[in-house]
Amino acid sequence: MSSQADDIDCGDPDPLLNGGVSFLSGEPNQYGSVMQYYCDEPYYSLPPGAVNVCGQPTVDFSVTQRIIGGNNAPQGSIPWQVRISGDAGGMFIADRWVLTNIDCGDPDPLLNGGVSFLSGEPNQYGSVVQYYCDEPYYSLPPGAVNVSFSCEADGKWRAVDDFGLKPICSPVCGKPRVDLLGIERIIGGDNAPQGSIPWQVRMSSGAGGMLIADRWVLTAAHVLSPNMQPRPANDIKMFWGTNAWTDFQVPNVIAASVHLHPGYNNTEHLNFDNDIALIKLPAPVTFNKFVMPICLPPEGSSLQTRTGVVSGFGLTRTVDGRYYFSDKLKYVHLPVVDPRTCTKSLDVLRRTMSDIPEESHNMFCAGLPDGKRDPCLGDSGGPFALWSNDHYWAAGITSWGIGCAQADRYGFYTRVSNYVDWIHKTMNEN
């Protein structure tokens, strides 16, 4: 050995991850020393020609394997098993890799709307969907422009944007798809084109009403309790979605429950104060071109100098003055009248007639000084609709009048804006 060779020191051999080095001969690390690498058997093995240890558990299944009706796996018998938070499974295929297939399943369906796939493999990890409502009859809540969900690693659909929740599609109110064509002329009224007053309800008793939500009809209390005895709900049949009541392709829905205003007390038929009632429907209505609710009065609404649309299937008059029940839905435009004029017309009537009902601040009157156009028998409970901010809202409910369409007499309507709280409370509690 040369003196030079005596000085050669290789240092420690490189360590081996999941293995080690053993010295076979010689002075450790010195010139001529021999060492051997090994792997941590049985979990790791040397590459060349080595048996792949993947899939060779060191613990055996003791029984036949099944999952539903399966057996407990002995510890170590399925050592590649991985549990991913959120109830998904996976398996080790390398020391830094887990194999899995995350499937979120179909996203929750949306009533009166749907889900569209935006990107990714449908329902798989990373796929993105978006909820929509069936426009133009339903709309997303305000502020929910883009309601997207993505399939996350835990196998669940999660909101992508700030909205955060699966939306609810709310019915669009007061925006008919069909215009009231023709000039306004019920008595002296025009036929309403199909779909122009899509909230109109007709009751089998011959009264009117209006849809205000998918399970609620608003009407007058007096048509539901002719003798202060509310008619049983299963006596009340309604239809809507048509401008001609001879049609038989219409729902004929039986009321689920009837809610008269608690302040309605009209034993003598002389007190129409609180002439308002709600009918609950047995199932939600799906809205469409011919069936749509009317909006409730906006906050702080005013009736002054306004002209509204009154509609119904009530009594109408032929040119030669004969009255008959209309089989067509009629409407008429009528101005709201100054309350002093309403009071004065009643005072004048009281001079020659008895039994004139009392006025109250829960009513307004509307009509023309020369008469001719007015709702009449059978129109009660129907809508007096006003148009503002791009929609119709229920300003009044046809309630009472002295005769029909006579000069210097006006029709009286329940002032719906005084009852918005009662309406919401009744709908929420029932």
What is the total count of residues that contact ligand ARG (CB under 6 A)?
A: 14
Stretch that binds ligand ARG, among 148-156, 237-245, 335-343, 395-403 (CB under 6 A): 395-403
Among residues 134, 214, 273, 275, which one is catalytic? 275
- Which of 430, 424, 417, 416 is CA-nearest to residue 221? 416
Residue whose tokens read 């992508």: 160
What are the residues facing 91 on neighbouring strands?
81, 99
Greatest pairwise CA separation for the chain in angstroms: 146
* Cβ distance to ligand ARG smaller for residue 21 or 356: 356
Among 411, 414, 415, 417, the residue binding ligand ARG under the rule CB under 6 A is 411
Residues 336 and 307 sit within 8 Å (Cβ to Cβ): yes
Residues 291 and 240 sit within 8 Å (Cβ to Cβ): yes
Q: Give me the DSSP letters along 127-186.
A: -EEEEEE-TTTEEPPTT-S-EEEEE-TTS-EEE-STT-S---PEEP-S--SS---S----
Residues 216 and 284 sit within 8 Å (Cβ to Cβ): no
What's the min distance (Å) between Cβ of 296 and ligand ARG? Answer: 22
What's the min distance (Å) between Cβ of 353 and ligand ARG? Answer: 14
Continuous segment of H or E residues that includes residue 427: helix 420-429
Among 404, 414, 417, 419, the residue binding ligand ARG under the rule CB under 6 A is 404
| Residue 259 annotated in active site | no
What's the min distance (Å) between Cβ of 352 and ligand ARG? Answer: 17
Continuous segment of H or E residues that includes residue 428: helix 420-429
* Cβ distance to ligand ARG smaller for residue 176 or 375: 375
Using CB under 6 A as the binding rule, the residues of this chain from 296 to 315 that contact ligand ARG are 314
Cβ neighbours, 10 Å, residue 211: 27
Among residues 45, 127, 380, 399, which one is catalytic? 380
What are the residues facing 317 on neighbouring strands?
323
What's the min distance (Å) between Cβ of 318 and ligand ARG? Answer: 18
| Residue 269 annotated in active site | no
What's the min distance (Å) between Cβ of 150 and ligand ARG? Answer: 56
What's the min distance (Å) between Cβ of 105 and ligand ARG? Answer: 54
Sign of CA dihedral 27, 29, 31, 34: positive
Continuous segment of H or E residues that includes residue 347: helix 339-352
Using CB under 6 A as the binding rule, the residues of this chain from 211 to 240 that contact ligand ARG are 223
Among residues 196, 222, 326, 345, which one is catalytic? 222
**Calculated CA dihedral for residues 421, 262, 286, 117, nearest 10 degrees:** 40
Cβ neighbours, 10 Å, residue 122: 13
Residues 170 and 141 sit within 8 Å (Cβ to Cβ): yes
* Cβ distance to ligand ARG smaller for residue 210 or 223: 223
| Residue 103 annotated in active site | no
What's the min distance (Å) between Cβ of 207 and ligand ARG? Answer: 6
* Cβ distance to ligand ARG smaller for residue 60 or 355: 355
* Cβ distance to ligand ARG smaller for residue 144 or 356: 356
DSSP 8-class letter at 52: P
The tokens for 315 are: 């009594």
What's the min distance (Å) between Cβ of 119 and ligand ARG? Answer: 58
- In the bound state, the residue with its beta carbon closest to ligand ARG is 401
| Cα 286 off chain centre by | 10
Among 278, 385, 401, 423, the residue binding ligand ARG under the rule CB under 6 A is 401
Stretch that binds ligand ARG, among 38-46, 174-182, 332-340, 397-405 (CB under 6 A): 397-405
CA distance 240 to 214: 12
* Cβ distance to ligand ARG smaller for residue 129 or 187: 187
CA distance 410 to 349: 11
Using CB under 6 A as the binding rule, the residues of this chain from 355 to 384 that contact ligand ARG are 374-380
* Cβ distance to ligand ARG smaller for residue 190 or 374: 374
Where on the chain is the footprint of ligand ARG (CB under 6 A)? Answer: 223, 314, 374-380, 398, 400-401, 404, 411
Query: Which residues participate in catalysis according to the annotation?
Result: 222, 275, 380
